[in-house]
């Protein structure tokens, strides 16, 4: 039995407020998760010997620490199935980018193997298995855009308008743990309500209108709130700060997703995001040819579309 071409979409944190800290050291957050159509792809081959293995190496990640392997083993242990699986992963979501790639991969493993092994766990069952794997993993099993609280596990579905996004990763990877442990991290942002956030999505403020890199005009959407992790990342990773400033100078005010390093700009539709991708890519190519040092380096520049729901949402029966 096989299951190929299983998507694992990236996420954006449309805002991220750190509102407190628990006694055990975990931070209390408020954020909104949105899935986008930048996806990793997974392939599964069932094994009858119960062995869980990966067919593709992930640089810097031993197999026993790989979230895809850990997720499969967690499902296997919870259900008592005697089946195993060989897992192949095509990686497109950058590591250390704040887009939740590893978490998304783990969630897609839980959903896909629950289907392939016919273990029949409910969404709540799978979310319970997801949380020990990482605070972001449950939202991918939840399967909808979500207002998240607590450490990220208290999820409420929200309906978001159609949006296009430009996602850009500067030449940096940011480890999450180091950002949350920084002494200068803001940990006392005010609580907001879902109603506060949703009210901001009903209109497009004009304050973010600017010039397109190619000289035209674009109408970006002013984003709600802030990302409290940005100042720490900008201090520790000047490449991220420089890229943010460079994009803003070109009419693309950006926000960092998660703990970075990826930055994103939001648009009311996909076409200006595509145009921005094309023109920034052209600028980067020109800078490479002339050995220019005046432009930041990017590992990724990609136009994306916000998804209404996770592509595997209907794979879970209840």
The reply to whether 171 belongs to the active site is no
Catalytic option among 64, 136, 154, 196:
136
Distance between CA atoms of 281 and 295, rounded to whole angstroms?
11
Q: Dihedral, CA atoms, 254, 255, 260, 261, nearest 10 degrees?
A: 0
CA distance 193 to 314: 28
- Length of the chain equals 318
Q: Are 36 and 306 in contact (CB under 8 A)?
A: yes
Task: Say whether 136 is catalytic.
Answer: yes
Catalytic, out of 11, 66, 125, 228: 11
Rounded distance between C-alpha atoms, residue 145 and residue 12, angstroms? 10
Q: Helices marked H in the chain — which ranges?
A: 67-79, 101-116, 123-130, 137-142, 176-180, 194-200, 230-236, 238-249, 270-289
- Angstrom distances, CA of residue 107 to CA of 75, 148, 150, 294: 11, 17, 19, 40
Q: Distance between CA 163 and CA 161 in Å, rounded?
A: 6
Residues identified as active-site: 11, 136
């Amino acid at each position: 039995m096989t299951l190929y071409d299983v998507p694992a979409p990236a996420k954006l944190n449309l805002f991220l407020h750190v509102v407190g800290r628990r006694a055990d050291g975990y931070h209390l957050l408020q954020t909104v998760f949105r899935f986008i159509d930048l996806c990793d792809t997974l392939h599964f081959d069932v094994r009858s010997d119960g062995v869980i293995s990966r067919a593709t190496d992930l640089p810097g990640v031993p197999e026993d620490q790989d979230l895809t392997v850990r997720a499969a083993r967690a499902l296997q242990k919870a259900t008592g199935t005697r089946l195993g699986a060989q897992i192949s992963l095509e990686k497109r979501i950058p590591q250390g980018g704040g887009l939740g790639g590893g978490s998304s991969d783990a969630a897609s493993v839980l959903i896909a193997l629950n289907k392939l092994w016919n273990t029949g766990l409910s969404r709540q069952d799978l979310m319970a298995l997801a949380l020990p794997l990482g605070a972001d993993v449950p939202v991918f099993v939840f399967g909808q855009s979500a207002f998240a609280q607590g450490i990220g596990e208290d999820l409420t579905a929200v309906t978001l308008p159609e949006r296009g996004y430009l996602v850009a990763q500067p030449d940096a990877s940011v480890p999450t743990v180091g950002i949350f442990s920084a002494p200068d991290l803001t940990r006392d942002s005010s609580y907001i309500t879902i109603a506060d956030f949703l009210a901001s999505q009903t209109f497009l403020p004009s304050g973010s209108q600017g010039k397109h890199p190619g000289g035209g005009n674009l109408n970006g959407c002013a984003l709600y709130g802030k990302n409290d992790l940005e100042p720490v990342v900008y201090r520790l990773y000047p490449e991220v700060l420089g890229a943010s400033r460079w994009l803003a100078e070109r009419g693309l005010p950006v926000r960092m997703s998660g703990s970075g390093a990826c930055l994103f700009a939001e648009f009311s539709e996909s076409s200006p995001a595509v145009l921005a991708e094309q023109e920034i890519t052209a600028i980067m190519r020109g800078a490479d040819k002339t050995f220019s040092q005046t432009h930041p380096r990017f590992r990724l520049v990609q136009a994306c579309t916000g998804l209404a729901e996770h592509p595997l949402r209907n794979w879970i029966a209840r």
